[in-house]
């Protein structure tokens, strides 16, 4: 039965890498579901997160950050983001004020205002291909602009693009205007009954998050050393009444990277395992026994078959498994 005044729809989060899409999703869900790190291209898969708030249920799709791909993995990540945006009821583009505008733009965008952030002008062209689609813009990290008048040229430049129904300056760090952003999103969804039960958070299976949380631990431990050369596969999963036994392989491209991941005397891999296990235990709410192995898989980011085996399907950015 339809609830009076209830709204439901799919909302795709798009934008450059490292602008705060996953952090916004986690805030909206009230739970740290998506992995996040200071490193660009942390998100590799499209992730559904269902937020039920008042008279609206929002099915968010967090997408990989758009970038100029140099590998087959990068191409699949971009394809995942663009595919998710085409069928959404609303597209929420996220940008930020932390990066200086591009000084030199390609000839096709030479007339763009200087306040347009690097990479955003390329996304504009993709958005324009979906005529009639509703969109809003969230401008994150406004807390970094000590002089708020600096925001005015940026707001004016993005508004002149004619792509967005609303522009909302936000700060995820300071939690500024986040409820305003949610209201702008919810008010643009079509009326209709919820698409999911009220206790559903995502449609991804537990092992998807096991893989992601191991990768998050690697990102946080290694920072800029080898994280983009790393993938994770689950070798064994045995869930019992009081514990969860897991074995996983960390894939790297070079022998030197394997040495970095393992660390002197195995200290680094041990720290990765401890951090990942803690996150997984929060998810499954039971004790976790986790074994990690490191394997050299040369050029895995450009091997279509291996990418698919690792869960990065062509055109989707990841497997579309349902929760068991």
Domains of the chain: 7-186 (3.40.50.300), 206-309 (3.30.300.20)
**229: Cβ contacts below 8 Å, ≥ 6 apart:** 252, 253, 254, 257, 301
pLDDT in tens, the chain (324 residues): 445 689 999 999 999 989 999 999 999 999 999 998 888 889 999 999 999 998 999 999 999 988 888 899 999 998 988 888 888 999 999 999 876 554 444 444 444 456 898 889 989 999 999 988 999 999 999 998 877 777 889 999 999 999 999 999 999 999 999 999 999 999 999 999 999 999 999 999 999 999 999 999 999 998 766 778 899 999 999 999 999 999 999 999 999 999 999 999 999 999 999 999 999 999 999 999 999 999 999 999 999 999 999 998 765 444 433 332
Q: In the predicted model, what is the mean pLDDT of the chain?
A: 89
**pTM score > 0.85 for this model?**
yes
**238: Cβ contacts below 8 Å, ≥ 6 apart:** 244, 245, 246
- State the CB neighbour count (10 A cutoff) for residue 87: 11
**322: Cβ contacts below 8 Å, ≥ 6 apart:** 203, 205
| Number of separate helices (H) and strands (E) present in the chain | 9, 9
Question: Could you report the per-residue pLDDT of 123-182, keeping only the tens digit for each?
Answer: 999 999 998 899 999 999 999 887 777 788 999 999 999 999 999 999 999 999 999 999
> Could you tell me if residue 20 is left (phi over 0), alpha (psi between -120 and 50 degrees) or otherwise beta?
left
DSSP single-letter state for residue 88 = -
Distance of CA 25 to the CA centre of its chain: 8
The span from the CA of 115 to the CA of 150, in Å, is: 10
Q: Where are the beta strands (DSSP E) in the chain?
A: 7-15, 47-53, 56-62, 90-96, 134-140, 167-169, 231-239, 243-252, 287-296
The span from the CA of 272 to the CA of 255, in Å, is: 18
In three-state secondary structure terms, 258 is helix
């Amino acid at each position: 039965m339809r609830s009076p005044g209830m709204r439901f729809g799919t909302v795709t989060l798009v934008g450059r890498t490292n602008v705060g899409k996953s952090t916004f999703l986690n805030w909206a869900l009230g739970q740290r579901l998506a992995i996040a790190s200071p490193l660009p291209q942390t998100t590799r898969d499209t992730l559904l997160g269902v937020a039920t708030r008042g008279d609206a249920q929002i099915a968010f799709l967090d997408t990989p950050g758009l970038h100029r791909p140099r590998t087959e993995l990068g191409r699949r990540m971009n394809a995942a983001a663009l595919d998710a945006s085409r069928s959404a009821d609303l597209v929420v583009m996220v940008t930020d004020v932390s990066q200086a505008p591009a000084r030199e733009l390609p000839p096709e965008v030479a007339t763009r205002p200087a306040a347009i952030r690097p990479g955003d002008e390329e996304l504009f062209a993709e958005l324009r291909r979906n005529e009639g689609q509703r969109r809003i813009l969230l401008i994150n990290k406004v807390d970094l602009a000590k002089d708020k008048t600096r925001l005015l040229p940026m707001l004016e430049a993005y508004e002149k693009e004619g792509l967005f129904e609303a522009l909302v300056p936000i700060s995820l760090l300071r939690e500024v205007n986040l409820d305003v952003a949610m209201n702008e999103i919810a008010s643009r969804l079509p009326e209709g009954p919820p698409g999911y039960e009220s206790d559903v958070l995502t449609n991804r299976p537990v092992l998807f998050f096991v893989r992601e949380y191991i990768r998050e631990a690697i990102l946080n431990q290694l920072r800029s050393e080898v994280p983009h050369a790393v993938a994770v596969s689950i070798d064994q999963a045995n869930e019992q009444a009081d514990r969860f036994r897991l074995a996983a392989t960390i894939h790297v491209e070079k022998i030197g990277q394997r040495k970095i991941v393992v660390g002197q005397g195995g200290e680094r891999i041990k720290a990765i395992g401890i951090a990942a296990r803690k996150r997984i235990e929060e998810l499954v709410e039971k004790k976790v026994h986790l074994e990690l192995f490191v394997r050299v898989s040369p050029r895995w980011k450009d091997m279509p078959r291996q990418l698919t085996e690792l869960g990065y399907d062509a055109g989707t950015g990841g497997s579309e498994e349902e929760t068991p």
